[in-house]
Structure 1
Amino acid sequence: MIDPRLQTLRVLRECGTVTATAAALHLTPSTVSQQLRQLAAQMDLTLLEPEGRKVRLTPAAHALLRHADALHARWEEAAADLAAHREGTAGRLRVTGIATALSALVVPATARLRDEAPGLDVTVAEDPTEDRYGLLLTGEADIAVVLPTPAAPPPDDPRFTPHPLLSDPQDLLVPVGHPLADRVREGVRLDEAADETWIRAGDPQDQHQLLLTACAAAGFTPRLAHAAVDWAAVVALVAHGFGVCLMPRLAPLPAGAPAPVVRVPLRGPSRPVRRIVAYVRRGSERQPPVARGLAALRDAAEAYAHEAYAPGTYPDGTHPAGKHAAGPHGAASGRPAPDA
């Protein structure tokens, strides 16, 4: 086993304070402080220096952490080698991820795992307010299905390995009667909505950042007025004229209660696309439960893309000849062609 005090130092690097580190590791602050003092004494080095209410890692601590990251990755690989001697149909697998990926990818993948490996205990959670990379680091999650943002770990991060799953285009969601609502066929450029009032829609950790990044690339800063995480609430805000928003193709309009909104495809070089990526702890992808989970996610992503983005159909299976669901006032609830 890797010295748990090294793991404590790794988590402290992420959390910034002893109190936050203790909460992440389910320890008391005094236990964390004691572990760090013991580690510093064993190394005969100063690892931490006070910096206001936080602590600052010394150059020696950063050097030690580079080795700790490498050791942890090797330990994950060693655990995988040992686990390979078993069939890998038992054990635990914890998956965290964004809401749209859970419904479209994670749940189908988990259902497949339940059938193929009934002895595998799979737990799924959205964790919208948590640092999902932190959950990976502390071992509270084994796979995190996320949207990489500028704050995401780089591909060569020694702690995590990314596994791309799906490229998901964004649509512009507008109310029926909006000047852009009749542009479903040809699509619109994002900058054509520069003067609109915008709703921060979806997961606050990544979808909001995607909106800001996409608008910046299109040459404007969005005028933000409202925010909602649940897509039913987002659709209601748009339908009643409170603003427009970006809506991932992966997110369906709420079932059973169509609203008078239209999904208009975005086109042009600034068209935003979400990259859905599964992150795991580096080296853990060789462990049978994690490997099975990644394989099931890849298959679910391929099946979804084949069905939802097939040329000539909408994501709900209707045809782009104009078949839309009726809204509560008889208005059309539009779906853009998936190849837009």
Structure 2
Amino acid sequence: MFRTERLQALHAVDRHGTLAAAAEALHLTPSAVSQQLSKLERDVGTRLLLPHGRSVKLTPAGRVLADSADTVLGELALARTRLDALSGDITGPMRVGSIPTGVYTFVTRALTSLAGAHPDVEPAVIEAEPERSLPMLVNGQLDVAVVESWDNMPLTRPPHTHWRALRDDTARVMLPATDPRADQDTIDAPELARDRWVSWTAGSRANAWLCHTLRERGIEPDIRHYVTGYATVFSLVAGLGAVALLPAMALAVASGHDVRPVRVDDPAPRRTLYAVTAEPHPRPALEACLDALADAAQLGDGGTDG
């Protein structure tokens, strides 16, 4: 019989393509993964992997065993879920990947509540955009991904994932307080045609969304600043007179920066935040986490919906 940890090593290499990536997913060293694979090859009596550039590829025997490992490990996970459900135990690690505004406004609050109610749950948070968190979820590196999907640029849903809507949010134009338009309730898109913009890093989904949203409104954005954090955005808006288009929830980190949020009257772009999972039968701890996220998301924050 094959030992589970050796099948897990082969399964991880099959999913991730390299020993290093498999080791990261399994929270092991590459050397430990290599040792497990060597032992599995001795168990089978044939080679399972071959070098392929900087990665590895499975031999025909490796492919047969990897496919079987996927089935076996899936059945073991289902058995674990059913056993947990019978016992009602809410325990174990809970790895949550979340967009930044989620962390700032409700994810931390949700996990604090979860850990308070269930001390044997061990929360861990990774701040990540959907283009990173969804692959991590599918590859088994996360239990939950908190993501955003804009109405005008919806996310692609990976197969076999489950999406639970948490809340809606709308975009606001962020203006320096000294801007004559800052006291308006709304701003028409043509009024923004000559502004200089702050954007997320070029090539990111957030950058693509900004460009797409402005071009929908007939504006070719003059992007002067590229950043990776909301605090930097607010600093540039307040200090250099740039403008930004951000989720209203981002105002939770605007403290100390003299900026004003104004609605875009076009109508305003809207996004939905989701908790995404990949377990077909969520164990009790995951169900408790999803409930905590849903409850915390509705409690309000520094942003404004609607």
Once the two structures are TM-superposed, the CA of residue 60 in structure 1 deviates from its matched residue by 11
Q: Distance in 1 between matches of 2:115 and 2:25?
A: 29
Amino acid at match of 2:114: L
Partner of 2:278: 281
Partner of 2:287: 291
Partner of 1:143: 144
Does residue 113 (structure 1) correspond to residue 114 (structure 2)? The answer is yes
Deviation per residue, 1:13-55 (Å, 9 max, x gap): xxxx55444444444279559849x78x97x9999895x6566
Partner of 1:131: 132
Relative to 1, partners in 2 of residues 1:119 and 1:58: Cα closer, same or farther, differing over 3 Å? closer
Relative to 1, partners in 2 of residues 1:213 and 1:266: Cα closer, same or farther, differing over 3 Å? same
Root-mean-square deviation over aligned CA pairs? 4.2
Q: More displaced, 201-210 or 106-115?
A: 201-210
Deviation per residue, 1:54-97 (Å, 9 max, x gap): 66899999999888767655544332111102222332222221
Deviation per residue, 1:222-273 (Å, 9 max, x gap): 222212333332111001235211121112254652x33211112325x322
Identity level (%): 26
Task: Find 1:300's aligned residue among 277, 296, 299.
Answer: 296
Checking the alignment, whether the CA contact within 8 Å between 2:130 and 2:147 is kept in structure 1 is: no
Deviation per residue, 1:189-225 (Å, 9 max, x gap): 3x54243221124999553343233234334442222
Amino acid at match of 1:6: H
Checking the alignment, whether the CA contact within 8 Å between 1:128 and 1:205 is kept in structure 2 is: no
Matched residue SS, 2:90: coil
Checking the alignment, whether the CA contact within 8 Å between 1:231 and 1:253 is kept in structure 2 is: no
Q: More displaced, 70-79 or 271-280?
A: 70-79
TM-score normalised by L of structure 2? 0.75
Partner of 2:264: 266
Q: Distance in 1 between matches of 2:89 and 2:291?
A: 13
Matched residue SS, 1:89: coil
Q: More displaced, 22-31 or 116-125?
A: 22-31
Relative to 1, partners in 2 of residues 1:295 and 1:8: Cα closer, same or farther, differing over 3 Å? same
Amino acid at match of 2:260: V
Checking the alignment, whether the CA contact within 8 Å between 2:96 and 2:142 is kept in structure 1 is: yes
Query: For 1:117-196, what aligned pairs fall within 5 Å after superposition?
Result: 117-126=118-127, 131-148=132-149, 154=157, 157-158=159-160, 160-183=161-184, 185-189=185-189, 192-196=191-195
Partner of 1:6: 11
Checking the alignment, whether the CA contact within 8 Å between 2:131 and 2:205 is kept in structure 1 is: no
Q: Distance in 2 between matches of 1:7 and 1:53?
A: 16
Does residue 77 (structure 1) correspond to residue 78 (structure 2)? The answer is yes
Partner of 2:103: 102
Q: Distance in 2 between matches of 1:119 and 1:76?
A: 19
Checking the alignment, whether the CA contact within 8 Å between 1:201 and 1:246 is kept in structure 2 is: no
The structure with the greater share of residues assigned to helix is: 2
Amino acid at match of 1:218: R
Relative to 1, partners in 2 of residues 1:180 and 1:255: Cα closer, same or farther, differing over 3 Å? closer
Once the two structures are TM-superposed, the CA of residue 166 in structure 1 deviates from its matched residue by 1.8
Q: Distance in 1 between matches of 2:145 and 2:289?
A: 11
Partner of 2:228: 229
Checking the alignment, whether the CA contact within 8 Å between 1:232 and 1:253 is kept in structure 2 is: no
Query: For 1:299-338, what aligned pairs fall within 5 Å after superposition?
Result: 299-304=295-300, 315=302, 338=305
Unaligned residue ranges in structure 2 (runs of 5+): none
Relative to 1, partners in 2 of residues 1:133 and 1:46: Cα closer, same or farther, differing over 3 Å? same
Checking the alignment, whether the CA contact within 8 Å between 2:49 and 2:62 is kept in structure 1 is: yes
Q: Distance in 1 between matches of 2:188 and 2:67?
A: 47
Partner of 1:330: none
Deviation per residue, 1:1-20 (Å, 9 max, x gap): 593212321222xxxx5544
Partner of 1:210: 209
Q: Distance in 2 between matches of 1:29 and 1:134?
A: 24
Matched residue SS, 1:239: helix
Matched residue SS, 2:223: strand
Amino acid at match of 1:146: V
Partner of 1:312: none
Count of equivalent residues: 296
Once the two structures are TM-superposed, the CA of residue 120 in structure 1 deviates from its matched residue by 2.1
